[in-house]
Amino acid sequence: MNKLSITILLLIFFANTQAQYRNPLPTNAQLKWHKNNFYFFMHFGPNTFTGKEWGDGNEKTEIFNPSQLNTDQWCKVAKESGAKGIIITAKHHDGFCLWPSKYSTHTVRESGFKRDILAELAASCKKVGLLFGVYLSPWDRNHPEYGTEKYNDVFVNMLEEIFQKYGPIWELWWDGANGEGPNGKLQVYDWKRYEQLVRKLSPQTIIFSDIGPDARWVGNESGYAGKTNWNLLDTAGYKRGHGAPSQDSLGTGNYKGANYIPAEVDVSIRPGWFHRNGENEKVKTAEQLFKIYLESIGRGANLLLNVPPDARGLIHENDINALKGLKSKIDQIEKVDLFKNAALNEAGPDKNNPKKNSTWYYMLKSPATIKGIILEEDLKYGQKIASANISLSLNGEQVFQETITTIGNKRIILLPNTVQATELSIVINEAKGLPVLKRARAF
């Protein structure tokens, strides 16, 4: 074969692979991550004592001295709130390490507080069956090697230390915020090396960053995902931290995105990421938190709710109260199923067009008072549904109708008014291949 025919063959092959779009599937680790869709974030460090949002790395280590630190209390609150895990800021941008790292001199070991907080939290999580996750800021405003190639070794060594001492680590969080280090230099991160190391040390760990590889940032810190939310993202040509896709694309994902990278909504229960005494009256209310739940989990994303411990090393009473209110609201929608005993008719898709018109039709013997509907796609076959018609009827007469776009892990549809209904019908208008829905629920 001469060079020309090889080139032609390659071009044909390339054109074919472009034309045959394959819907990316989640890994097993991602499927488990979808199931555990609500968990806590905890920002804790020198900023808890200085009131700063971003420490500059010059804070004296002695200031870090919580008087009553109790990671069992954090876990109790998380459990009672229905959260499935905790992700802790092992190191924020100020470089202070909540564990006595061999690769830093700015740690709990040098502070007034000598205890290893990562060890304590990992043990508390294990005791009560919570997942344990770690936020490790690549940006480090304290480390003397930051801005040089040697810092890549430091970051790799820290990752190794954390995974070996405190694993299993369920989710690893890489923050996109990035700036200069103490010597005024920017760092060139060796992302490939970091990622390969984590994959080797712990293949099941979910790696989060603005562009994944396993979970993506949702594009805002206010607590909502796009109404249309694809678990797919095109990342080619983008870089972590700088030059990520637009915040809108992060919120909606890409319809034909090349990679399975679902969205995680990170938002704080308080005005800032760290606890500040002056803000105890500004904790979000149960109603505000529930709205966040509906607009994150209810739009198919995971919810990472930041509940930062205070300077005592405890979760403040006001946060606990708001979380209790949230839990009872969640239970009111997740723990009831008015269509549990409804008869179900499933009309398969049109054979000539498997993408269209799958219908699920639920029938009750007597009317139920309905406030909302919960739909879930079975994601092991990929995310497929692009548009669906949802309607409720009372003995054949329509009382509610809405057209929605994506469903994904979960779609919660809150009705504008409570209605009496005997029938629920879900008609798929458009899907990428055969749609697979789990049994619908109503509350």
Q: For residues 131 and 385, which CB has a smaller minimum distance to ligand FUL in the complex? A: 131
Smallest separation, CB 59 to ligand FUL (Å) = 15
140 lies in the site for ligand FUL, by CB under 6 A: no
Smallest separation, CB 394 to ligand FUL (Å) = 46
Smallest separation, CB 42 to ligand FUL (Å) = 11
175 lies in the site for ligand FUL, by CB under 6 A: yes
Backbone phi, psi, residue 303, to 5°: -115, 120
Per-position x/- string for 273-302, each x denoting binding to ligand FUL as judged by CB under 6 A, each - no binding: x-----------------------------
Smallest separation, CB 102 to ligand FUL (Å) = 24
Judged by CB under 6 A, the number of residues near ligand FUL is 6
- Residue with the shortest CB distance to ligand FUL: 177
- Choose, by CB under 6 A, the member of 177, 186, 336, 434 that binds ligand FUL: 177
120 lies in the site for ligand FUL, by CB under 6 A: no
Per-position x/- string for 52-81, each x denoting binding to ligand FUL as judged by CB under 6 A, each - no binding: -x----------------------------
Q: For residues 305 and 326, which CB has a smaller minimum distance to ligand FUL in the complex? A: 305
Using CB under 6 A, which of the segments 57-65, 156-164, 174-182, 432-440 binds ligand FUL? Answer: 174-182
Smallest separation, CB 229 to ligand FUL (Å) = 20
Smallest separation, CB 43 to ligand FUL (Å) = 6
Q: For residues 217 and 443, which CB has a smaller minimum distance to ligand FUL in the complex? A: 217
Interacting positions 217-276 with ligand FUL (CB under 6 A):
266, 273
Smallest separation, CB 273 to ligand FUL (Å) = 4
Interacting positions 28-57 with ligand FUL (CB under 6 A):
53
Residue numbers at the binding site for ligand FUL (CB under 6 A): 53, 175-177, 266, 273
